Amino acid sequence: MDGNNIIADNLELKATGDIGGPGRRLIVATGSITSESRNLYLKNNSPYLVVKGITAKETADIIVGGKMVCGVLNAKDINLLAFGDIGVSDDDPFVVYVPGSVKARSKYGDVYLRNDYREPPEPPEPPD
């Protein structure tokens, strides 16, 4: 089993570059997370993760050892894998703002996810 790089009740991460990377995830055990970075590659070994807010300018690639709930995730692309539910229900989904690829799956639970991203409106034509 992978050892944890960080153990914390509430984790706040901020980086101008990447947090983790493909094949070298940051491995944590935390109950809640707030994060801001260019790319985020994370594995959480706790059975329950409350996402208070995650912003990744490019990719957010997250593996959770249990349920993943609440919060908002902003990224260009996301890849989520949980061993429990993602979101709580159709009425209380996990909310993302993602203009690109959205991949979310659960090994033993359900996925309740809503992508609220909307293209910005076109600027009006200048008057003649």
What confidence tens digit (pLDDT) does each residue in 55-74 have? 999 999 999 999 999 878 99
Is residue 32 in a domain? yes
Is residue 121 in a domain? no
Contact criterion met (CB below 8 Å) for 76 and 60: no
Is residue 124 in a domain? no
Is residue 1 in a domain? no
Contact criterion met (CB below 8 Å) for 117 and 98: yes
Is residue 120 in a domain? no
Q: Which long-range contacts (CB under 8 A, 24 or more apart) does 60-65 make?
A: 61/22, 61/25, 63/25
Residues 74-122: tens digit of each pLDDT: 999 999 999 999 999 999 999 999 999 999 999 999 999 999 998 877 7
Number of domains in the chain: 1
User: Structure pTM?
Assistant: 0.89
**Structural domain containing residue 33:** 6-115
